[in-house]
Chains A and B, each alone.
Chain A
Amino acid sequence: MASEKQKHIRNFSIIAHIDHGKSTLADRILEFSNTVAARDMEEQLLDNMDLERERGITIKARAVRIDYDAPDGERYALNMIDTPGHVDFNYEVSRSLNACEGALLVVDATQGIEAQTLANAYLAVDADLEIVPVINKIDLPSAMPDKCKAEIEDVIGIPAEDAPVVSAKTGLNIASVMSAIIDQIPPPDGDENAPLRCLIFDSVYNSYLGVVVYIRVEEGTLKTGDRIRLMHTGAEFDVVEVGVMDPFGLRPTGMLTAGEVGYLTASIKNVSDTRVGDTVTHADAPADEPLPGFKKVQSMVYAGIYPSDGARYNETKDALEKLQLNDAAFTFEPETSIALGFGFRCGFLGLLHMEIIEERLEREFNLDLITTAPSVIYEIKKKNGEVVRIDNPTNYPAPDEIETASEPIVAASVITPTEYVGGIMDLCQDRRGVFIDMKYLDPTRVELHYRLPLNEIIYDFFDALKSRSRGYASLDYELSGYEPSNLVKLDFLLNGELVDALTFIVHADKAYARARKIAEKLKDNIPRQLFEVPIQAAIGSRIIARETVKALRKDVLAKCYGGDITRKKKLLEKQKEGKKKMRQLGSVEVSPEAFMAVLKLDDDQ
C-alpha cells in the first residue's frame, strides 16, 4: 500500500514518435504547473543538447520533478522521465519505463501510431504501466482524433475513448492531461524500511560533481553519507549528495525514500561504473536480489573513425574519451589501417547512435573525420573449433579457415500507409528479408513484420525505406539472434593494392552488385593521376568487378607571364599543399572527401 507521502507522487514517462509533440507537451506540463514561467523557457526544456534540439529527438533520458498544486487542493510531486525515442536506445527506454508507474502515449492526431511509438508502447505494457493516451495536434485541420482513438484501442488494446484531446502547441486542454496524470496513474508503493533497492535509469558526467546518477528508489531509503554498492558491477561508493531534479537544476534533499525519483552523486569518475539498469543498494545491509531486467548493453554496429588530418590523432582520442564519459554504450579502441593510418574502431548501439557520435565529434570538437562503412559483428566458427567475433571486416578469416559464419538477424517492424506496401516488400525481399506477417492497423495503414539481417539494415536501408514511402514508413527492430549465412569478404584494390579501409562483408548473392556500385563510385571520386588507376573488386583472388580511372592528361602552365616566376612557384606550392592532405590508398592519392563520398550510403539503385 502506498504511504501518505507516496500518494502524492506520480512517476511517468511520455512515449511519442519523433515530431508527435513530446517535448512540446512536456513544456506545457511544466508551464501549467507553474514550475517554469513561460518566458523563462527556452522552447522544449527537456532536450538539453543542441543536437537533440535540432533533430527534435531526445538522445539521452532526462528527468524532472514538478511540484503541482492540483485542483483538489493537494500538492503532488510529478516526476516526468523523458525517454529516448529511437530504436537504437530500446534498452534505455525500457529502464526509464521501469522507473515509472504510468506513461502518456502521445499520438499525433494527423498521423496515427508509428512503428517506434508502438514498440515503446509495448515496452510500457510489458513493464505493467498505466498507459494514458493523449491525442495531440488537434488544432490542425487534418486531425482525426476519433480515428486515432480507435486505432489505439485496436492496436494496443487499451481504452482510449476518454483520452485527453489536446494541442500542446496552443496549450488547449492541458488541464485534462494533468487530471489524467493524477487520477489514472497509480502512486508508487514500496516499503521505505526495506533493504535499499534503487534502479539506475540514466547517468550523466558533470565535471564538478563527477557522475550524476539518476535513480528511482523502489524500496528502502537512501541518505547522504550512505555507503552504497552497485549490485552488478560490485563497485562501492560513499554518497556525497542526494536530491531531486528541479527544472533548473539539481536540488539536494539529503534523503530519498521508496517511490521517489532523484539523483545521487558519489565522486564517481566514470559513467561505465553506473550502468543503466543496475541496482543501488546499501553496502552494509544489501538487498537479497537486484531489480530484474539488467542487461549489459552491447554495441551492434562498428565503424572505424580516423582523423582526416593524421596529426590530430590525440585530439580525436581526447574527444572520444570525453564523449564516452557520458555514454557508456559507446566504445572505442585504437586501430590502424594501412590506408587511413591511426584511428579508432568504435562500437555503437545502432546507426543513429553512430551518426550522433560522429556529428558531436565534428561539431563540438571541431574535428574532420573519415568514417569507414559501418559493420556488424559476425560470429565465425573456425575449422579448428575456435569461435571469433569480427567487428572489423579486415580481420575476417580466410574462407578455408571458416566452418560456419553467422550474422546478426533482427525482428523488424515497418508501419506504412498501404500504398507503399509493395515497394517496401520489394525492398525487404531485396535485403534478404523473410516475411513473417502483415497486420492492418486500420484500412489505410499496415504493419509489416520481417526478419532481416542487420548488415542489410545498416547499408542505407533507412534511406531506401524513406524514399520508397515518401518518408511515411517507420521502422523498429530488435536483435533476435545469429544465423549461419553465406557471407563473403569483398576487397577492393587500387593499382593492384588492397585498400583495407574499403573491405566489406556481404552476402554472396549481393557481392556482385555491391562490388560494381563501389567500383563505380571509386572511379567517379578518385581524381585523375599521372598513371591510370585500375580499380578491382575481389573475393579472395577472384576479380568480380573492375573500373579504370583514366590517367591525367593535362596539368600545365602554358605561359610564363612576362617572367613572372613567383606566380608559378606559388601555384606549385599550393598544389603541393593540397597533396599533403591527400590520403595514400596504396599508390593512389585520394582526398578525405573523395573517400567519404565512396562510402556514402545513398540510393539503392
Chain B
Amino acid sequence: MNRTETYGAPRLGIYVHIPFCLSKCAYCDFNSAVEEDRGVMTNYVNAVIAHMESYRSAAGDYDVDTVFFGGGTPTALPPDELLRLIRAVKRIFHVAKDAEFTVEANPATVSYATLSRMRRLGVNRLSMGLQSPHENELKALGRIHTRADFVRSFRMARDARFDNINVDLMFGIPYQTRESLAHTLRYVTRLGPEHISLYDLKIEPGTPFYANYAAIAPTLPGEDAEAEMYFDSIRTLAEAGYPQYEISNFARRGYACRHNLRYWNCDEYLGFGVSAHSYFSGHRFSIIPDVKQYIEGATVKESRIMLTAENEEIGERERIGEYVMLRLRLRAGIDEYEFRSRFGLSFEELYGERCLRFVRGGFMTRRRGVTALTPTGMFVSNTILSDLLEFEDLGRYNFGG
C-alpha cells in the first residue's frame, strides 16, 4: 500500500464534490450545473452522506488528515445543507485534530454567518475563485462576481478567522496582457492570501469557449505570450513571498495545500459525490456523473444503479509511471532516495538516459539526486512526459485503433 507514514495509523484524504453553481462559467468543463430545486440539493447531501457511511468501516483504520469540498460551488448549497455535510464528514471519519479542511467558496456566495459557522465546525482553509480582478476579463470568462464582491468576501473570511486562504487566478484568458496579469498579481499579493493558484486557461470541448472558439481566438494572448506570462508570474510571485511548489500553485512557506499534495504524492484519498475520483487500496476509481442517478444509487436500497463508473487496479509499473508523472509537477521533483525506498528501483537506471536531452535543453535539473522540471520544462511537461514515460507506465487504454 502507498502509505507514506511509517508510524501510526495510515492517512487518508476525503474529497466531496458539490456539482451545483449559481451560474456556469464560459471555460468550465467540470461536472457542475445550475440547480434551482432545493429539494434536489437536500437529496444530494443525503446521498453523499449515505455514500460516505458505506465507507465507514473500510476507512475505519485511517486518520483523515485532509478534507476538501470542491465543485461546482460548495457554497451554492443552502448553508444548512453545507454545514450538515461538514458535520457528517466529522461524524463518519476519524478526522485528525490538525487536519487541513478546505471548502471552495466563490465570492458573493457566502455570508459572514455561514463562514463563521464553518470555521467553528473545523473548516480551516478557504479557496476562493477570483480568476481576475479586471472587470473586462471577468466578464469574458462569464464570472458573475465583481472585484468588489471578491474583496468583501475575502475581508469577511478574514473576519471569520480564516487564516489560510487560497485565491484562484487564471492566465491566458481573453483580453489579458502581460501588463494586466502583472497588475493582477500585484493586486492579489497585496491582499495577502496564504496560497495562490494560477491556472492556464485550457479550452475544453463542451464549453461555450470551445463552441465559440473562432470568436474568442483573436482575444487570446497566444502561446508565446502565455509562456512569457507564466515565467513572469513565477518570478513575481516568488519575489512577493509565494514560491512556486507545483505547476500551477504558489504558497507562503508552510501553506502548500496538503490535500492537493496527496494527489501529487500518490497518497490515498476517497472521493464522494458525482464525478469524484478516488485512489484507495491500490485502485483508482470514479463515481458516475449524473446527479439523479447518484441520488438514487446512494439512497434507494433496492436500486441497481452502480455508483462506480470506472475502476482500475494500478499495477506496479503503472504506479511508477504515475509517480513520475505526478511528482514532476512539483518543484521538489523526484528524489532518488525516496524513489528507491518506495519502489525498490532506481529512477536513474529507469529514466536517467532519457532525461539527458531535457537537462541539456534546460527543461530539467538533476542535482544531488533530485530530478525536477524547470519552469520552462513545466510549461511543456506533457511533451516531456510523453517522451519520458513508456506505454507500460501509463497503463492500457484503447483509443479505437
Residue ranges of A at the interface with B (Cβ–Cβ < 8 Å): 529-531, 550, 552-566, 568-577, 579
Contacts and interface: CB of A to CB of B under 8 A. Distances in A.
A277 B12 CA distance: 86
A566 B311 CA distance: 10
B75 interface: no
A-B complex: 7 closest residue pairs judged by Cβ atoms: A553-B227, A575-B386, A558-B200, A555-B382, A563-B277, A573-B394, A558-B199
Given A572-B389, A576-B386, A577-B399, A554 B227 contact: yes
Given A565-B277, A569-B394, A575-B382, A559 B361 contact: no
6 contacts: A553-B224, A561-B277, A562-B15, A562-B17, A565-B326, A566-B310
B380 A554 contact: yes
Given A555-B380, A557-B202, A560-B326, 12 more contacts: A530-B363, A550-B224, A554-B200, A556-B200, A556-B247, A558-B202, A559-B199, A565-B263, A573-B386, A573-B391, A575-B382, A576-B386
B232 interface: no
B135 to A, nearest CB: 23
Contact of B380 (A530, A559, A564): A530
B277 A557 contact: no
Contact of B394 (A531, A563, A572): A572
A571 B226 CA distance: 21
Contacts of A553: 223-224, 226-227, 379-380
B236 interface: no
**Interface-centre pick from B15, B385, B387 (highest chain A CB count, 10 A):** B385
Contacts of B70: 562
Interface string B253-281: 00000001011100001010001111100
B203 to A, nearest CB: 12
A572 B397 CA distance: 11
Interface in B306-323: 310, 312, 321-322
B6 interface: no
Given A530-B383, A558-B248, A577-B399, A566 B286 contact: yes
Given A553-B226, A556-B380, A572 B277 contact: no
B86 to A, nearest CB: 18
Interface residues of B, number: 53
A366 B262 CA distance: 49
Contact of A560 (B17, B263, B271, B275): B263
Contacts of A529: 383
Contact of A572 (B224, B226, B269, B385): B385
B277 A562 contact: yes
Interface string B190-209: 00000000011010000000
Interface in B229-265: 230, 247-248, 260, 262-264
A568 B325 contact: yes
A589 to B, nearest CB: 10
B379 A559 contact: no
Contacts of A570: 397
Nearest to B269: A563
B397 A565 contact: no
Contact of B389 (A557, A566, A574, A576): A576
B128 interface: no
Contacts of A577: 399
B15 A569 contact: no
A558 B276 CA distance: 19
A553 B200 CA distance: 13
Contacts of B358: 530
B27 to A, nearest CB: 11
A575 B363 CA distance: 19
B267 to A, nearest CB: 10
Contacts of A574: 399
Contacts of B145: none
B147 interface: no
Contacts of A558: 199-200, 202, 247-248
Contacts of B380: 530, 552-556
A308 to B, nearest CB: 14
A552 B379 CA distance: 9
Contacts of B378: 556
A555 B226 CA distance: 11
B223 A554 contact: yes
B380 to A, nearest CB: 5
Which of the listed residues A557, A564, A569, A575 has the most CB atoms from chain B within 10 Å of its own CB? A569
B158 interface: no
Contacts of B397: 569-570, 573
Contact of A565 (B322, B383, B385, B387): B322
Nearest to A587: B357
B384 interface: yes
Nearest to A571: B382
B322 A572 contact: no
Interface in B342-391: 358, 361, 363, 378-387, 389, 391
B30 interface: yes
Contacts of B278: 563
Given A553-B224, A555-B380, A559-B248, A566 B277 contact: yes
Given A530-B383, A555-B382, A576-B391, A566 B226 contact: no
A598 B151 CA distance: 55
Interface string B1-32: 00000000000000101000000000000100
Nearest to B30: A561
Contact of A566 (B200, B260, B312, B384): B312
A561 B275 CA distance: 10
B122 interface: no
B284 interface: yes
Contact of B263 (A555, A563, A572): A563
A565 B278 CA distance: 9
B223 A564 contact: no
B382 A563 contact: no
Contacts of B383: 529-530, 552, 555, 575
Nearest to A577: B399
A5 B52 CA distance: 100
A565 B386 contact: no
A587 to B, nearest CB: 9
Contacts of B17: 562
